């Protein structure tokens, strides 16, 4: 399901601790989880990192959306499991699956709890050029919309008798043509409409811009950043220096 796959990357407005954090804090959180996931190729440390990444998901009350995103990547997870089991071993394959789940979870909690306008404002305050910040903000809005539109087109074509699962691999690829063509046409139309709207508002005519509000780091942001920093330093210490590193390399006795 296209929409199910991308539902974890669509902002959901809720009154939670994570939603109230500054977007820059959540950017830092995503980077920390990415680094922690990429530091190790063993099951134990990646499992610990996975458990830690669940904390923001629970605090954001976004478990259902997160589970939907995992359902949308089931085929990819199975593919990684099979390929890595043949190339290396099952322990490595399970570790790679955990790594991917951690990365998906980190990005999910960021996009689920960060409004695109706040993301753009945060990037601007980080001295990112306005054009780039605006483009990224538009992209985060557009991906869920594109997924919803793909699902609508799929339902419409199936109601007209299109059998997407019929035939072999070649036939299934051909069956996607009635989906891809209208999706591309609608995307081009939407892009032209957005371009005309921007031109009518004289986008880019004035280099020096003013903003309605300024984001500020609050007490909760500093507390969360401190926790994330300590966690990252601990992971780096374990990876390089700690005698726990050998314990972290434990594998299933296969």
Q: Which residue has the tokens 């087109």?
A: 153
- Give the Å distances, CA to CA, from 214 to 16, 28, 126, 211: 21, 19, 12, 7
CA distance 51 to 7: 21
Q: Does the structure show a pLDDT above 70 at 4?
A: no
Which pLDDT belongs to residue 230? Answer: 94
- For the stretch 160-208, pLDDT in tens is 776 766 666 676 667 777 777 887 888 788 878 877 787 777 776 677 7
In angstroms, what is the C-alpha Rg of the chain? 22
Q: What are phi and psi of 186, to 5 degrees?
A: -65, -35
Across all residues in the chain, what is the average pLDDT? 80
Which pLDDT belongs to residue 224? Answer: 92
Which pLDDT belongs to residue 33? Answer: 93
Closest CA to 228 of 110, 147, 141: 110
- For the stretch 93-149, pLDDT in tens is 888 888 889 998 898 888 888 888 888 888 888 888 887 888 888 777 777 777 777
Which pLDDT belongs to residue 7? Answer: 59
Q: Does the structure show a pLDDT above 50 at 3?
A: no
- For the stretch 9-57, pLDDT in tens is 677 788 888 988 999 999 999 999 999 998 888 888 888 889 999 999 9
Q: What's the burial of 201, exposed, middle or buried (CB within 10 Å: 0-12/13-18/19+)?
A: exposed
CA distance 179 to 152: 10
CA distance 191 to 245: 51
The answer to whether 80 touches 90, Cβ cutoff 8 Å, is: no
Q: What's the burial of 244, exposed, middle or buried (CB within 10 Å: 0-12/13-18/19+)?
A: middle
CA distance 233 to 162: 54
CA torsion sign for 102, 75, 116, 109 is: negative
pTM (predicted TM-score): 0.78
Residue of higher predicted confidence among 166 and 79? 79
Which pLDDT belongs to residue 13? Answer: 82
SS3 240: helix
Which pLDDT belongs to residue 165? Answer: 67
Which pLDDT belongs to residue 250? Answer: 53
Which pLDDT belongs to residue 225? Answer: 93
pLDDT band at 221 (very low <50, low <70, confident <90, very high): very high
């Amino acid at each position: 399901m296209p929409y199910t796959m991308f539902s974890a990357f669509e902002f959901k407005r809720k009154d939670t601790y994570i939603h109230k954090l500054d977007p820059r804090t959540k950017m830092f959180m995503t980077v920390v989880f990415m680094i922690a996931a990429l530091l190790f190729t063993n099951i134990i440390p990646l499992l610990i990192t996975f458990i830690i990444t669940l904390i923001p998901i629970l605090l954001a009350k976004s478990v259902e959306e997160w589970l939907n995103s995992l359902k949308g990547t089931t085929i990819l997870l199975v593919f990684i499991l099979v390929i890595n089991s043949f190339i290396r071993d099952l322990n490595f394959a399970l570790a790679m699956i955990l790594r991917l789940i951690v990365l998906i979870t980190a990005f999910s909690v960021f996009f689920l709890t960060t409004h695109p306008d706040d993301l753009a404002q945060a990037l601007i305050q980080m001295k990112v050029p306005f054009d780039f910040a605006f483009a990224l903000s538009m992209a985060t809005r557009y991906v869920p919309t594109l997924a919803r539109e793909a699902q609508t087109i799929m339902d419409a074509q199936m109601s007209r008798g299109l059998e997407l699962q019929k035939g072999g691999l070649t036939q299934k690829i051909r069956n996607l043509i009635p989906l891809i063509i209208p999706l591309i046409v609608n995307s081009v139309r939407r892009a032209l409409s957005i371009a005309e709207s921007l031109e009518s508002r004289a986008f880019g005519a004035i280099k020096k811009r003013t903003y309605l509000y300024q984001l500020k780091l609050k007490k909760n942001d500093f507390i969360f950043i401190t926790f994330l920093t300590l966690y990252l330093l601990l992971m780096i210490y374990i990876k390089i220096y700690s005698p726990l590193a050998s314990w972290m390399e434990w594998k299933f006795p296969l």
